[in-house]
Each structure stands twice: as C-alpha cells, then as structure tokens.
C-alpha cells in the first residue's frame, strides 16, 4: 500500500502531505516483533502499509490484546500528541510493513497546518479511544461472565458426581443380571448419557479456565457416528419433520470421542433450532478421511446464518435466533476443535442453509500447523 493513501494523511494540505512523505522512515517487521513496547518514548506515528499490528496491554502476569490494525490504519498518535511514553505495546501479527512519521517532524508540520486539521486529528484520536474503551469494557464483562460460568460448572461437577455414579452403577448391575440384547443396549445408552452429562460440565469448567484437556484414543469414523446416532435416537424421533442423514467412510482416527460428540451435538442442535418447522428439512452429517485429514461436515437446508454475526460466531456469549442458551456453544466447538489441532469453518447462504466443516489430522494433534480449508 502507498503511504500517501493512509487515512492519517487525510485532511493535510497537499504541501504538508508531500513534505511528510519525504520524512517517512520505512520498516519491515517479522511475525511477533514489536514496533514499540509499553513505556517506550513516543518516537512517531506509525502508518500500517501491509499486514496486521496488534495493540497489547500487559496486565499482571498476562497480556490483553486491545485491538488490531490493518493496512490503511495508523497508531501511536496519542503518545506523540501528549508527549508521554507509550501506554501499550504494538506487535506484528504476521509480516508487517510500516512507515513512521518521526515525532519532531510531525509536530513541526502540525504547527504550519490549518487549525481545522488539528481539530480533525483530535476527533480521530477520540474516536480511537472510544473504540478501545468499548473493547476493554466488553472483555472485562466477558471475563466476569466466564468466572460465573466457572463457578456454576464447578458446583455442577460437585453435585453431579454422586447421583451420576449411582446411575452408572445401577446400569452395571442391571447388565450383570440381564444379558439380553435389548437390556445390554439400554444399559450402554445409560452409561453413555452419564458420561456425556459429566463431560458437558467438565467442558464448561475447562472453557472458563481457558483449558481443553483431551482424552485421545483410537477409534473409527463409523464407530464415532454410530455412537452419535445411539445418543440421539430419541432426539431424532422428536423432530420427525427433519430428515437426518448420517454417513461415514470407514477409516481409523485418533480423537477424543466424547469431546467431538459434543461438537457434533452443538452443531446439530443449532441446525435443528434454526430449521424450526420448515417442511422438507434435511440435516446431513458426514465423516471420513482424505489424504490423512479427518473431516466432519454438518449441513442443513435452513435459513442460513445472519450476516451480522458471521464474523463473531465463535466468540463467547454470541447468540442469534434463539429463545434461550448461554451463547457458549459455538465457542466451545471452536475450543475443542483447536485443541485437536484442527480448524472449523463454515459456508452459509440466506435461505439456502449452512455447512460446517471440521478438519484435523487423523492420527491426532501433531506439532505442526493445523490444516485449513
């Protein structure tokens, strides 16, 4: 991108803009390199020419990403104007190209430019500050909500263990005394649902802590979808207006079955709720392995995902088209898939439906970048 097209230079007179262009100091930064760090002197205004720059604020033992700037944006103007040190750090997110206007030259040209330019510049600064404050408040609210979720999940875990263990034990005793096929199948379903219940509470607790502990094991795509079908037979029967299609191409995989069952369940539930009472409705769930990649797709012919939430669908507490729910389902889906070293993407069209695609290495998480679609 040409520095002359950067938004920061909008409003400068042609003479002022041309002079500033002669004063620019160009720089290239690799991924994770710092343009400046918190507390550094304000050496100039940075114009982003290519790539992305994260604004990072250090807090306690961690850090908080306050914003992300792209080509055409600028940063560092507040410290230049007030003459104080940097209040945040700026870090490259991928390779970044910037042009810096040194502080001395910046102040020199401002003294010569019309007063209207200075007023406009301060208005832009205030707009940036408002956006940053809004983002900070939102993150604080999210953190408080996650803390409450963690407390709730911890209480659930404590209260559930004894009754669930009793149900599990009762199923084992019934199975020991009745070995007919129907009883064995029912007992297996009871055990699976007990494990599923405890697993859901565990996922909430881990999600609130930013964790995702996997219990990886060898299985097959067919066994995985068969287990999903067993768990949802009653659910399928309650939605007779929907045609459910489950198909698997046989292949061996290494996954945390209980966690991925939760992923599939969340996506299925969302699709069912979106479809509602629409006639000729259909949901297809397919799994298989292609060139070493385990894939799982969940497709529906529902109304599609509203454009307003598409870019935020995997964020916590984002929900749409529901009468209830916590807004954590899709965030948990993303968390589990990423823990497997995989990706989850989607394609959607209003009035035509949505397809979610999950991809991960069939032999489990490896020390390499996940495959993207």
Instruction: Answer yes or no: do 225 and 355 share one domain.
Output: yes
pLDDT at residue number 137? 62
Has residue 243 been placed in a domain? yes
54 pLDDT above the threshold of 80: yes
Report the C-alpha gap between 284 and 272 in whole angstroms.
11
> What is the predicted pLDDT for the residue at 189?
81
Q: How far is Cα 189 from Cα 183, in angstroms, rounded to an integer?
A: 10
Query: Per residue in 84-102, pLDDT tens?
Result: 888 889 999 999 999 999 9
Bridge pairing between strands 281-290 and 242-248: parallel
Residues 6+ apart with CB under 8 A from 356: 267, 297, 298, 299, 344, 345, 346
Do 303 and 238 sit in the same domain of this protein? yes
Q: Is the same domain home to 341 and 352?
A: yes
Residue 366 is assigned to a structural domain of this protein: no
Q: Which two tokens stand for residue 324?
A: 């209830």
Q: Say whether both 45 and 185 belong to one domain.
A: no
* Residue 312, both tokens: 């935020």
pLDDT digits (tens, 9 = 90+) for 2-17: 888 888 888 788 898 8
With cut-offs at 50, 70 and 90, classify the pLDDT of residue 372: very low
Answer yes or no: do 338 and 232 share one domain: yes
pLDDT range class, residue 136, cuts 50, 70, 90: low
Q: Decide if 131 is inside a domain.
A: no
Q: Which pLDDT belongs to residue 143?
A: 66
The secondary structure of residue 43, as a DSSP letter, is -
pLDDT in tens, 171-223: 888 988 888 888 888 888 888 778 777 777 777 777 667 667 788 999 999 99
Question: Rounded to whole angstroms, how far apart are CA atoms 128 and 73?
Answer: 11
Whether the predicted pLDDT of 114 surpasses 90? no
Asked which of 176, 194, 210 is the last residue of a domain, the reply is 210
Sign of the Cα torsion 132, 136, 141, 145 reads positive
In a domain, 129, yes or no: no
In a domain, 122, yes or no: no
Tell whether 367 is covered by a domain. no
The residue range of the domain holding 24 is 3-113
Asked if residue 327 and residue 233 are part of one domain, the reply reads: yes
Domain of 229: which CATH number? 3.30.565.10
Residue 65, Cβ neighbours under 10 Å: how many?
A: 14
Q: Which of 121-125, 134-138, 259-263 has the highest mean pLDDT?
A: 259-263
pLDDT higher than 70, residue 81: yes
Lowest-confidence region among 57-61, 78-82, 270-274: 57-61
Tokens linked to 128: 């940036």
Cα–Cα–Cα angle for 22, 24, 29, nearest 5°? 150
* Same domain, residue pair 156 and 64: no
**Average pLDDT score, the chain:** 83
Among the residue ranges 42-51, 99-108, 144-153, 228-237, the one predicted with the least confidence is 144-153
Q: Do residues 226 and 348 both lie within one domain?
A: yes
Number of domains in the chain: 3
Where does a domain end: 113, 130, 165?
Answer: 113
42 and 169 both lie in a single domain: no
Together in a domain, 202 and 216: no
Report whether 9 contacts 76 (CB < 8 A): no
Bridging pattern class, strands 293-300 and 281-290: antiparallel
Same domain, 218 and 194: no
Q: What CATH number is attached to the domain comprising 66?
A: 2.60.120.10
165 vs 126 pLDDT, higher one: 165
User: Long-range contacts of range 81-85, CB-CB < 8 Å, 24 or more positions apart?
Assistant: 81/121, 81/122, 81/125, 83/42, 84/42, 85/38, 85/39, 85/40, 85/41, 85/42
Residue 371 counted as domain residue: no
Is residue 313 located within the same domain as residue 354?
A: yes
DSSP 76-95: -HHHHHH-PPPSSEEEEEEE
């Amino acid at each position: 991108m040409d520095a002359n097209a950067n938004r920061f230079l909008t409003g400068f007179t042609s003479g002022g803009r041309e002079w500033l262009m002669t004063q620019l100091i160009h720089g290239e930064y690799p991924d994770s390199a710092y343009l400046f760090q918190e507390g550094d002197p304000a050496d100039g205004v940075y114009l982003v020419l290519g790539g992305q720059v994260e604004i990072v604020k250090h807090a306690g033992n961690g850090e908080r990403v306050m914003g992300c700037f792209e080509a055409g944006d600028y940063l560092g103007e507040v410290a230049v104007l007030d003459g104080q040190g940097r209040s945040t750090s700026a870090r490259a997110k991928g390779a970044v190209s910037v042009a810096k206007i040194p502080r001395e030259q910046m102040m020199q040209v401002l003294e010569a430019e019309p007063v209207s330019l200075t007023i406009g510049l301060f208005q832009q600064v205030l707009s940036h500050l408002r956006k940053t404050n809004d983002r900070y408040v939102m993150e604080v609210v999210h953190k408080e909500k996650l803390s409450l979720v963690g407390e709730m999940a911890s209480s659930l875990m404590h209260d559930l263990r004894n009754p669930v263990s009793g149900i599990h034990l009762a199923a084992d005793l019934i199975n020991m005394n009745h070995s007919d096929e129907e009883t064995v199948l029912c007992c297996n379903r009871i055990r699976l649902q007990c494990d599923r219940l405890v697993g859901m509470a565990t996922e909430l607790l881990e999600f609130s802590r930013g964790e995702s502990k996997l219990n990886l094991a060898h299985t097959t795509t067919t066994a995985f979808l068969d287990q999903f079908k067993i768990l949802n037979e009653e659910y399928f029967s309650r939605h007779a207006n929907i045609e459910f299609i489950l198909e698997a191409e046989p292949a061996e995989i290494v996954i945390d079955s209980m966690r991925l069952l939760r992923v599939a369940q969340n996506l299925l539930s969302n699709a069912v709720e979106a479809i509602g009472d629409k006639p000729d409705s259909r949901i297809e769930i397919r799994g298989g392995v292609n060139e070493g990649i385990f894939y799982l797709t969940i497709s529906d012919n529902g109304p599609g995902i509203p454009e307003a939430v598409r870019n935020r669908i995997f964020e916590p507490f984002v929900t749409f088209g529901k009468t209830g729910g916590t807004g954590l389902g899709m965030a948990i889906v993303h968390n589990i898939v990423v823990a497997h070293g995989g990706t989850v993407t989607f394609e959607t069209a209003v009035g035509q439906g949505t397809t979610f695609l999950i991809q991960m290495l069939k032999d489990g998480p490896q020390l390499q970048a996940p495959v993207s679609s």
